Chains A and B, each alone.
Chain A
Amino acid sequence: MTVPDVFAYVLDALDIETLLVCTSEEEGKRIALELAKKLGFKDVDIVFIRFQGSGARVRLRAYLNRPGDQYAWLDLEDAGR
């Protein structure tokens, strides 16, 4: 029995929320997307960003499954989970 990749447990997307230390919303966007890239995510979007004061509050989303994809979580029972 193979152990599923941990990403198989994610239903649809991962949201990453943080405050990025930067000087503008534009810079925040650039950093956020770079962060997603560094974490290895490809299907990424910035759901929410607001620059205020010392940085940008960001809600970054990486879709692992979009509707209509083949969802790995459907195979979890086969994997004994």
Chain B
Amino acid sequence: MRPLRRHTSIALVTAVAAVAAACGGAQTFGLTSDDNNRAALSQALAKRVLPAQAGPRNATGKPMAFVVLGGKQRRLVAYDLAAGAAAWVVDADVQSKVAVGGDFVVAREGGAVVARAIADGKVRWQAPIAGELVGAAADAERAYVVTAQTTAARPTWRLAALDGASGAEVWGADSPGQLGAPAAQGGLVMSPFLKQWLTFLDADTGAPITRVRGIDEEITFVRTTSDGAWFGSALGVFRVDEAAASGQRADATYGTMTLPKQLAKATWGPDGFDGVQAGYTAADRTRILWRTAGAGPADGGPLAFQDGGVAVHYFRFVFGYSIKGELQWAYSHPRVELVASEHVGTTLVAVSQRGELVALDPASGAVRWRGELGVEGAQVLGATIDADGWAPQGAADEGATTVAALISIARDRDARFADVKELALSALASLPGAEVTAEIIAIIQDPRTPPKLRDTAVEVLVARKDATALDAYAEALAVPHDYLTGSQPVAVAELARAIAGLGGAGIDAAARKRAVDALVLQLESPETDGPELVEIVKALAAIGDGAEVAPLRRMLMAYRADPLFAGDPKLVGAVIAALVARGGSGREWVAFVAEDPRSLDAVAAAARAALAKK
């Protein structure tokens, strides 16, 4: 993939070189520039004005969510998170993500960029879009809009600054190469260019200041929070600081981590070059949510993530991971997907398809607050959350419920989330509690569980080595086949494997007896098949503590002349091995079978071979 991307990039650069040569003269976006100039970047950052404290971008200072609703007539809702109520709802054919400015929001509506007043949602101005909207950003005074005209013989992109009050173009810059969705912050505009550069411009004039060239990673997105700016790609995230001028991961303030393969779709930010992602899409439901702890090192180095890790929003679920990739917590949203999410520093805020809002503790996943959009028949397409620093007040703490969340995820009926269910099951392996084991057993026994997930559940069960769950295993195995009631044991082999995994250590004597009785019930049940019998024999050998000898001797003697038994070398081997391993009378009976002429040859040979082993 990398070589292909490199070739693509080279091709684009070549094309741009040709166009730039044709245009001639200085321009904002071109191939030749003073890249990765630390002093120039330092100068640009010095110009930037960051808020004194964390807070929303909008001028009201209220934590807000701007929510787009689908339906015959799309609607835009401004929801005041602190008040727990919608501030306004307007009909608006919103076709892009909503960008939040000072006292206005801006989004594509139909064929125009439309600005609405944050106070009441009324249209303030609209500006026609020439071509397609690639992305928009806003600051206190202006909206910054990137459009693309790609149908012409010579495709062009344009970054334009529009006055937040009137919509008049303040400045604009054409680009012969692809521009990504911009970001704006405190007097700077940051514009990704050809996935290779991040261009810094003066927000007032559009004058280019400097740019960073990504040397060992693409630049596909740029993002701002009230405490900084960030850019990056699918691989990780760079802080916009002086060290970013290096353009290299090793020398910049750079953060990344390896997520489980089941969450591979999750990204550090939307792909600003993908026109589709200019709107709210499914990509917004698979997002890595992160903030940093403090300002970080001045001279680059690993980015220190807040709370020592990141959260991953994955459709209905949110997982907290440590930087080492260990699962810290999990949250499962009931029934419907979360369509938008944002790490606002103090909490993780998310909005569901049905208009439910939830705030989670980033460190524990505990629910800090819940809200409802309060709009009848809400079908949420997406949302922009502008709530930096918001800490819900007076909200009930539902507490961390990671085990319950993981179980809920693993048992979820939605067939789309097989990978996530596997992930949840795997995470359960390390969590203690007999109730966890009981839930995993239920997953294994549920006929609706997909085979792959069932296999994972079995592996997890075996890996748990939960001796306290022996009674749960026994109970699950103590179900007879019954033609009249239709009852039958489920997952006999799997449960037996889990029991065998316990070994003999630390098992309560009474629980051992109940488990042995249940295993013998299945051992001597005519419906138990060969592979199940093998696992049962192994389990009996593992935990029997001598109690396995009598039933295994009975089996060996009753079946030693039966071709069906003799034709199952795994079963014969398991029975004989168990008896020989126990020694004493068990071994004597194997010796008898080895020599007695009534034993079928395969059985006798297996017995002799086992006895010959030291």
A binds B: no
